């Protein structure tokens, strides 16, 4: 049986260079980065070098990078502290955000009584910027939280435009950039953003590590207490091997960005062509077939399959060795349908199976052909 992995939006395969680097650090540099002896100082030097590398790629100060356990923690850090410590009384977000944002915002609404406003979306799930501007006309101290690249349908937010709208209306801006860092260049001197969340395992780095970008002098305070690590933003012994793995993965992602982006774009175009040729009634959710409006790494497909066969499609693909997703991997254990697709699809289309295929440099056209053959057999 073949083994085909088209679920890189859930997590990516580790690059061999990253594994090698992490293994070397685990073997040679096992000191606690908070220790003052040479073992600790060596570990600390690796952490600080990684921080500088990350900062350089985003064009920010190293002091604005806080290593975390991943994107979810970084989202929670920004949102909770903004309400608890910065006096935010209103959050503007959308109904298709990652649950790391949506559930956190809902908890803050219950716990702190903040106002929550949801920006309108068009039929393809893109933010209505005029409505966002209208929502920003508020006397309440406001934070906007909108993701850069949607993890299910790949829609790309005009992050600079949103940042400028927030700045013009004295609002703070937080973005979950988990699906975009490592795939898009972001110059944070050009983009007025206050907080950002990132996960290493979305760009061929290790799981269990990410970072928050926290704009200098924002006033943000920690969620986790117990030590002075991460300049007091995040207590806990640093996972030096993971942080170095993140650094190596990020360097390689940006060193090879244009070449790998061109390869993946060609692969995604080929997948779209083959789907259309073999399934004339296929549709693409959101704007995922539009390379200007959607990420080149994500394709969300609504297949013309009878509703009674829909529940077993993902299972059948798995039996054939094909990994993809019916939505976010973070919710795949849930019986509920996709909260993202429910905002843009009619009831009839919600009954059809929608699959998210997400790509990386490790995929091939031969794998696409295999998926098409398996889908044809099933249909």
Kindly list the catalytic residues: 330
Q: In what helix (H) or strand (E) does residue 357 lie, and over which residues does it extend? A: strand 354-358
16-21 long-range contacts, CB within 8 A, separation 24+: 17/248, 17/252, 18/204, 18/205, 18/206, 18/245, 18/248, 18/249, 18/252, 21/244, 21/245, 21/248
Query: How far is C-alpha 254 from the geometric centre of its chain's CA atoms?
Result: 16
Report which of 158, 128, 130, 165 is spatially closest to residue 144, judged by C-alpha positions: 165
Q: Which residue has the tokens 């997590």?
A: 11
Give strand ranges (E) for 129-223. 142-145, 172-176, 195-199, 210-214
What tokens appear for 186 in the block?
A: 């972001």
Question: Is the C-alpha dihedral spanning 260, 266, 268, 274 positive or negative?
Answer: negative
Alpha-helical runs (H) found in the chain: 16-28, 38-58, 71-86, 99-112, 129-135, 159-168, 240-255, 257-278, 310-319, 347-350, 365-378
Answer yes or no: are the C-beta atoms of 351 and 307 closer than 8 Å.
yes
Q: In what helix (H) or strand (E) does residue 301 lie, and over which residues does it extend? A: strand 298-302
Distance CA 50, CA 309 (A): 48
Q: Which residue has the tokens 């390689």?
A: 252
Distance CA 159, CA 175 (A): 8
Indicate the angle between helix axes 257-278 and 365-378, nearest 10 degrees.
Answer: 30
Indicate the angle between helix axes 38-58 and 240-255, nearest 10 degrees.
Answer: 30
Distance CA 320, CA 312 (A): 13
Task: Determine the Cα angle at 331 with ends 325 and 332, to 5°.
Answer: 40
């Amino acid at each position: 049986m073949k083994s085909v992995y088209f679920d890189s939006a859930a997590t990516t395969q580790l690059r061999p260079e990253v594994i090698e680097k992490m293994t070397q650090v685990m073997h040679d540099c096992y000191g606690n980065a908070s220790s003052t002896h040479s073992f600790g100082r060596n570990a600390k030097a690796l952490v600080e070098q990684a921080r500088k590398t990350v900062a350089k790629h985003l064009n920010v100060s190293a002091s604005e990078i806080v290593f975390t356990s991943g994107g979810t923690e970084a989202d929670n850090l920004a949102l909770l502290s903004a309400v608890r410590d910065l006096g935010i009384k209103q959050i503007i977000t959308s109904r298709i955000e990652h649950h790391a944002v949506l559930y956190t915002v809902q908890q803050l609404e219950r716990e702190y009584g903040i106002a929550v406003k949801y920006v309108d979306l068009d039929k393809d799930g893109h933010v209505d910027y005029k409505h966002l501007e209208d929502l920003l006309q508020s006397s309440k101290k406001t934070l906007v939280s909108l993701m850069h690249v949607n993890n299910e349908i790949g829609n790309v937010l005009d992050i600079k435009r949103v940042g400028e709208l927030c700045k013009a209306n004295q609002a703070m801006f937080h973005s979950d950039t988990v699906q975009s860092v490592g795939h898009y260049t972001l110059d944070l001197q050009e983009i007025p953003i206050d907080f950002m969340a990132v996960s290493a395992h979305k760009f061929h780095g290790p799981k269990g590590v990410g970072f928050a970008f926290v704009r200098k002098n924002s006033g943000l305070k920690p969620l986790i207490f117990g030590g002075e690590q991460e300049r007091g933003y995040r207590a806990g012994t640093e996972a030096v091997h993971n942080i170095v793995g993140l650094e190596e993965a990020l360097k390689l992602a940006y060193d090879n960005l244009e070449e790998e982006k061109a390869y993946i774009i060609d692969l995604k175009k080929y997948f779209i062509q083959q789907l259309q040729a073999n399934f004339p009634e296929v549709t693409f959710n959101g704007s995922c077939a539009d390379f200007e409006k959607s990420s080149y790494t994500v394709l969300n497909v609504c297949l013309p399959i009878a509703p009674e066969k829909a529940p077993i499609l993902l299972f059948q693909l798995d039996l054939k060795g094909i990994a993809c997703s019916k939505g976010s991997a973070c919710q795949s254990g849930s019986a509920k349908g996709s909260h993202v697709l429910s905002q843009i699809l009619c009831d009839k289309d919600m009954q059809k199976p929608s699959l998210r295929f997400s790509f990386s440099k490790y995929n091939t056209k031969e794998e696409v052909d295999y998926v098409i053959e398996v889908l044809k057999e099933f249909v």
